[in-house]
Amino acid sequence: MAQQKPKTDREVSIEKVRNIGVIAHIDAGKTTTTERVLFYTGKTHKIGDIDEGTTVTDWMDQERERGITIVSAAITTFWKKYRFNIIDTPGHVDFTAEVERSLRVLDGGIMVFDAEEGVQAQSETVWRQANKYQVPRLVFINKMDKTGADFENTLEMIKDRLQATPAVMTIPIGKEHDFKGCIDLLEQKMFTWDKDEIGIEYTTKDVTDEYKEEVKKWRSILIEQICSEDEALLEKFLNDQEPTIEELKAVLRKATIDKKLFPTYCGSSLRNKGVQPVLDGVIDFLPSPIDLPPVSGFDPKTEEKLERKPQNDEPLSALLFKVQTDPHVGKLSYLRVYSGVLKSGSSVLNVTRQKSERIGRLLLMHADKREPINEAHAGEIIACIGLKESSTGDTLSDPTNPISLENISFPDPVIHLSIEPATKEDQEKMGTALHRLSEEDPTFSIKVDHETGQTIISGMGELHLEILAERLRREFNVNANTGKPQVAYRETIKTEAQGEGKYIRQTGGRGQYGHCLLRIQPRKRGEGFEFVSEIRGASIPQNFIPSIEKGVKEALEKGVISSYPMVDIRVAVYDGSFHEVDSSDMAFKIAGSIGLQDAAKKADPILIEPIMKIEVTSPSDFLGAVMGDLSSRRAQILGTEERNTYTIINASIPLAEARGYATVIRSLTQGRGSFYMEPLIYEEVPTNIMKDLVNSEK
């Protein structure tokens, strides 16, 4: 039966708080599952439907129209007197920043899989992201009522592809059209959702004879898995004594928090079956903030390692993980409070930017609805109004006890396009609107091309930029024209080289004199730019070194082949000279820029392009045509696998060759094919294509 929110107070002890996220591949059923969770916990009184555009967490117009999640939504709700702070994350790779930042602040996750599709490409990506942030997870195998649903095959894929050990807690009663409910293996109870359409009430009874053998088989596997994680239980098990359910749950809880086992449930969110056992699993097996190690950071002055326990009497530490522009209240900042108490009206230190901030109003979020609160305690996820200088990834702390928490890393944009305001009136509004959107989204960047005067926006994919352009129009009333999406090429070097930068001007009176010698070396892909000074002695005074670095960085913005930014380069200034009177910061900055260009031309410069990982799902009848088309696009086929009447093709493909692929795959497969794509790596552009690119831009 659904548990309503406690009437007395929103406060619960920290042991009864669960900060969880719902994560999965696109279309596995994350938002549908979240809607059921909200309904059964009494947060909503009507189940939202994606197709009807009535979901709570997909509250933006674009989300409701497209039936996808774009921004992660935070909601607070209650189940059996436990407080759940739930974040519903997007599945589409273009919004990977939303998943990344959500996982950074979560204590646990519910990983949703499609029972027919099993482990898909994005499932692997978000699983890896969850591993990176050490997030314990429950597994929910959804869509058991779907044609082709295969519970055991999905379990095998979880073991093989994710190298994870599922601990099966419920097994299905029937499948596809005959799916009626599930059997709880520990309690040996059958749950059938046969009382009402919306699944609030369900029948609980003992296991019937036809399922007894199957339950015995699955239950013995589960008990052996759990006992293997604890010596005392293992001894009992080996002596043919069955541990109590309480003992088994306690050990499974520890194994889940240690990420050794992943309690696994089955159901169908759309048909309102199997969600309540997952909610009980969140209480039983996922951690509260105090079950996890203290959050670690460092002292911003001494860089000494520090820890903060999730307690109200510890000094305040909080991480700002998301900024959102709200049409009613302006800038909303989402915070995870790790320690201490955050009070409305108090002053805090933004440790990342070394600036003082005043906390305005604090809000408890229910997707797009909000409830004002006076203070937030350790372990809570809340929103705040009033922060002016802070942005995603910043640490807020007690001004007298500062701590800097680990930041959130985001991938670089892979695609860009030009954007121009339609009228002069739009021009004035566009700059402000773009700035606000870039504050919200760390994978969205803006720059002005000074040669052409164009504004260039960059993002993670065509859909990402399309939705941002749409948001400009809808939320900020800015009409803008966009150019064609362009691939974000980069330049780098293959060999070590030296260069000289000399800037000498004598114009009567005081002149300009800057002279430096630089050595540049290639770095591995993704390692970025590094600048070092090897000046020993007085050939260049130390105060001019930062100016040389500034000039080098400016030169990197425009490469030597075709004006693309240069990346993955180590630059060392090792010698030079100066003039007592004429040397200046400006002169050395220009010298640094000239020196970098001189060296880069000698260092075998190359163009590199984004390579995408692509997973194409095609009816097997059209496999030849799809494979042939991929090969013509410079794709490398990594493998194929059969799944019912479909074939899954795994490949890598240059982004430049994959533009507009959605239309191509539909026409090749009579509308039945689909694909999923995500950034993989930057690789060298073949010489013939590089020549064509350079010539086309001249």
What's the CATH number where 498 sits?
3.30.230.10
Residue ending a domain, among 447, 463, 488, is 488
Res. 60: pLDDT tops 50: no
Residue 92 in domain:
yes
Residue ending a domain, among 291, 313, 331, is 291
Residue ending a domain, among 461, 488, 515, is 488
Round to whole Å and give the CA distance between 293 and 395.
18
Amino acid at 111: M
CB 495 within 8 A of CB 613: no
- In a shared domain, residues 272 and 182: yes
Q: Give CA 420 to chain center in angstroms.
A: 29
Q: What are phi and psi of 152, to 5 degrees?
A: -70, -35
Residue 250's CB is within 10 A of a number of other CB atoms, namely 16
- In a shared domain, residues 650 and 688: yes
Residue 587 in domain:
yes
Name the pairing type of β-strands 415-421 and 455-459: antiparallel
Pick 65 or 268 by higher pLDDT. 268
pLDDT at 603: 94
Res. 550: pLDDT tops 80: yes
- In a shared domain, residues 335 and 349: yes
Q: Write out the H or E segment, with its range, that includes residue 83.
A: strand 82-88
Res. 41: pLDDT tops 50: yes
- In a shared domain, residues 132 and 281: yes
pLDDT at 64: 38
Pick 105 or 326 by higher pLDDT. 105
Please report, for the domain that includes residue 446, its CATH number. Answer: 3.30.70.870
pLDDT at 44: 47
Q: Write out the H or E segment, with its range, that includes residue 147.
A: none
Min mean pLDDT across 142-146, 246-250, 347-351, 381-385 is at: 381-385
- How far are the Cα atoms of 182, 279, 498 from residue 2, in angstroms, in the given order? 18, 11, 71
Helix (H, G, I), strand (E, B) or coil at 600: helix
- Of 51-60, 295-304, 503-512, 564-573, the range with the highest mean pLDDT is 564-573
How would you class 678 by CB atoms within 10 Å of its CB: exposed for 0-12, middle for 13-18, buried for 19 or more? Answer: buried
Round to whole Å and give the CA distance between 439 and 389.
10
Q: How confident is the model at residue 168 (pLDDT cuts 50, 70, 90)?
A: very high
Closest CA to 489 of 438, 441, 561, 552: 561
For residue 630, the number of C-alpha atoms closer than 13 Å in the C-beta half-sphere is 26
Q: Please report where in the chains the tokens 């604090």 appear, as a residue.
A: 362
- Residues of the chain above pLDDT 90, percent: 34
Res. 414: pLDDT tops 80: no
Round to whole Å and give the CA distance between 87 and 85.
7
CB 588 within 8 A of CB 548: yes
- In a shared domain, residues 390 and 428: no
Helix axes 96-105, 121-132, angle to 10 degrees: 30
- In a shared domain, residues 594 and 611: no
- In a shared domain, residues 555 and 570: yes
CB 93 within 8 A of CB 676: yes
- In a shared domain, residues 475 and 540: no
CB 9 within 8 A of CB 87: no
Q: Write out the H or E segment, with its range, that includes residue 157.
A: helix 151-162
- In a shared domain, residues 495 and 482: no
Residue 611 in domain:
yes
**Full DSSP string of 36-80:** HHHHHTTS-SS---TTTT--SS--SHHHHHHTS--S-EEEEEEET
Q: Which two tokens stand for residue 19?
A: 């900060």
Round to whole Å and give the CA distance between 693 and 698.
9
Closest CA to 362 of 338, 326, 386: 386
Round to whole Å and give the CA distance between 338 and 679.
32
Q: How confident is the model at residue 546 (pLDDT cuts 50, 70, 90)?
A: very high
Residue 10 in domain:
no
420-429 pLDDT tens trace: 888 888 887 8
What average pLDDT does this structure show over 307-313?
90
Q: Please report where in the chains the tokens 């088989």 appear, as a residue.
A: 217
Round to whole Å and give the CA distance between 284 and 79.
12
- In a shared domain, residues 281 and 223: yes
Task: Please provide the distance, in angstroms rounded to a whole number, between the alpha carbons at the two ends of the chain.
Answer: 69
Res. 183: pLDDT tops 60: yes
Round to whole Å and give the CA distance between 353 and 315.
19
How would you class 327 by CB atoms within 10 Å of its CB: exposed for 0-12, middle for 13-18, buried for 19 or more? Answer: exposed
pLDDT at 120: 80
User: What rounded mean pLDDT belongs to the chain?
Assistant: 83
- In a shared domain, residues 132 and 33: yes
Q: Please report where in the chains the tokens 């009874």 appear, as a residue.
A: 205
Q: pTM of this prediction?
A: 0.71
What does the buried/exposed string (b/e) look like for 627-660 if buried means 16 or more CB atoms within 10 Å of the residue's CB?
Answer: bebbeebbbeeeeeeeeeebbbbebbbbbbbbbe
Please report, for the domain that includes residue 89, its CATH number. Answer: 3.40.50.300
Helix (H, G, I), strand (E, B) or coil at 19: strand
Residue 1 in domain:
no
CB 236 within 8 A of CB 208: no
Q: Which two tokens stand for residue 659?
A: 């533009």
Round to whole Å and give the CA distance between 541 and 136.
53
Min mean pLDDT across 22-31, 61-70, 365-374 is at: 61-70
Which segments of 533-660 does DSSP mark as H helices, in order? 545-557, 585-602, 623-632, 655-658
pLDDT at 517: 95
Total residues belonging to the chain? 698
- Of 17-26, 30-39, 158-167, 411-420, the range with the highest mean pLDDT is 158-167
Residue 11 in domain:
no
Q: Please report where in the chains the tokens 């928490």 appear, as a residue.
A: 405
Pick 483 or 598 by higher pLDDT. 598
Please report, for the domain that includes residue 325, its CATH number. Answer: 2.40.30.10
Q: Which domain holds residue 625?
A: 607-696
Res. 273: pLDDT tops 60: yes
Amino acid at 696: S
What average pLDDT does this structure show over 550-570?
91
Q: What are phi and psi of 508, to 5 degrees?
A: 80, 135
Min mean pLDDT across 88-102, 122-136, 473-487 is at: 88-102
Provide the domain count of the chain.
5
- In a shared domain, residues 129 and 78: yes
Amino acid at 470: E
Residue 117's CB is within 10 A of a number of other CB atoms, namely 22
pLDDT at 451: 64
Q: What are phi and psi of 115, to 5 degrees?
A: -65, -25
Residue 575 in domain:
yes
- Of 240-244, 504-508, 646-650, the range with the highest mean pLDDT is 646-650
Res. 96: pLDDT tops 70: no
Q: How confident is the model at residue 324 (pLDDT cuts 50, 70, 90)?
A: confident
Q: Give CA 308 to chain center in angstroms.
A: 25
Residue 588 in domain:
yes
What average pLDDT does this structure show over 284-307?
89
Please report, for the domain that includes residue 675, its CATH number. Answer: 3.30.70.240
What average pLDDT does this structure show over 298-311?
88
Q: How confident is the model at residue 70 (pLDDT cuts 50, 70, 90)?
A: very low
